[in-house]
Structure 1
């Protein structure tokens, strides 16, 4: 595992946004379209604020969530809300957006329709991920009820995930969906998460799910 370290978080967000814009441009030139999987949360918001102004063919880019809490789009805990406010803005407002939340009662309801939408985007052109101090990425959490299946290379592309210490059920892209990406970026801030990455190297994927995804990824870190 190689970690690219930056002088500060602002510089990291600018430089990673530029890398992702270049990755998307490469996919657009090769295929005429690109798919880009992104997380929610507070960490990527500054990156999105930079990336949304990139001068690329956003009309042919489809943005899909890496994961989502099972809450309405209007909720402040909604990843879709953050993505719409920070990424689907400026030039990137022309991009298409595929939400994993389908307004049903549970993440399992109509999940085959969601999987079909995601299948249309495979393989992903670019995926952006974070990592938690508990070594989760997307909603692949240690202790998640469907983790063993979700990190299996034969898993369905999308899985519901319930975690005991999380307020809401979740839905997530799985190992085969995330690892389909031609370009993977993991953005990390703070010493706690850096230490988690280092600790993860000696653990199983059930205890440190990020290890199943970080192969081939560019891992970027700065202090927050």
Structure 2
């Protein structure tokens, strides 16, 4: 794991956007199409605002959420909505979006179809992820139904996840797919998350799912 500290969130957003742009551009030199996995939430928004203006061949980039709440795309809590509003604009509007949700159906009825759209685009070239203070990443939540399957080395591409305190069911990339990304970046802010990251190193992966994807990842942190 590589740990980078920034003086403020604005500097972190600019530096991470530049790093991602370089890695996406380099990947496009070697592959006809590449897969770029990104999170929802508030932390990556400023990165998206900078990255969307970068001059790379976005028409050859497939953008996919690392996880998704099972809600319509126009729902305020939809990761797809955030990604489309903050990243898939400006020059990045030419990218192709691959959804992880078809909210008009039950997850188990359409996961195979969603996976079929993604399988040929793997491995992920560049993955941007976050981490919660509970040490979850994507929707790999401690104690969630589906976590054991999602952490299995032979897990499917997508896994449905639920927990009583989550507002809606979710679908997440399995840990093996996220960890298989050729380049991994994790954004965290605040002392509580830095403390959680430190604590995770001494916990089993079931209690600290972030551990499943930390190897060879770059963690970006600002207070």
Fold-level similarity (TM above 0.5): yes
* Contact 2:130–2:137, Cα closer than 8 Å, also in 1: yes
> TM-score, normalized by length of structure 2?
0.98
* Deviation for aligned residue 1:96: 0.2
After TM superposition, list the pairs within 5 Å mapping 1:1-224 onto structure 2. Answer: 1-223=1-223
Secondary structure of the 1:76 match is: coil
**CA distance in structure 1 between the aligned counterparts of 2:106 and 2:129, rounded to whole angstroms:** 24
**CA distance in structure 1 between the aligned counterparts of 2:109 and 2:42, rounded to whole angstroms:** 28
TM-superposition CA deviations, 1:17-40 (whole Å, max 9, x none): 100011101110011221100111
Secondary structure of the 1:194 match is: helix
* Deviation for aligned residue 1:171: 0.3
**CA distance in structure 1 between the aligned counterparts of 2:188 and 2:33, rounded to whole angstroms:** 28
Q: Structure 2 vs 1, CA of residues 2 and 23 (structure 1 numbering), >3 Å: closer, same or farther?
A: closer
> Unaligned regions of 5+ residues in structure 2, if any?
none
TM-superposition CA deviations, 1:68-103 (whole Å, max 9, x none): 111111110010000000000000000000010113
* Deviation for aligned residue 1:106: 2.4
> TM-score, normalized by length of structure 1?
0.97
RMSD: 0.9
TM-superposition CA deviations, 1:51-79 (whole Å, max 9, x none): 00001000000001100111111110010
**CA distance in structure 2 between the aligned counterparts of 1:104 and 1:159, rounded to whole angstroms:** 18
* Contact 1:143–1:164, Cα closer than 8 Å, also in 2: no
Q: Which runs of 4+ in 1 moved over 4 A?
A: none
**CA distance in structure 2 between the aligned counterparts of 1:163 and 1:117, rounded to whole angstroms:** 27
**CA distance in structure 1 between the aligned counterparts of 2:22 and 2:141, rounded to whole angstroms:** 30
Query: Which stretch has the larger CA shift, 171-180 or 204-213?
Result: 171-180
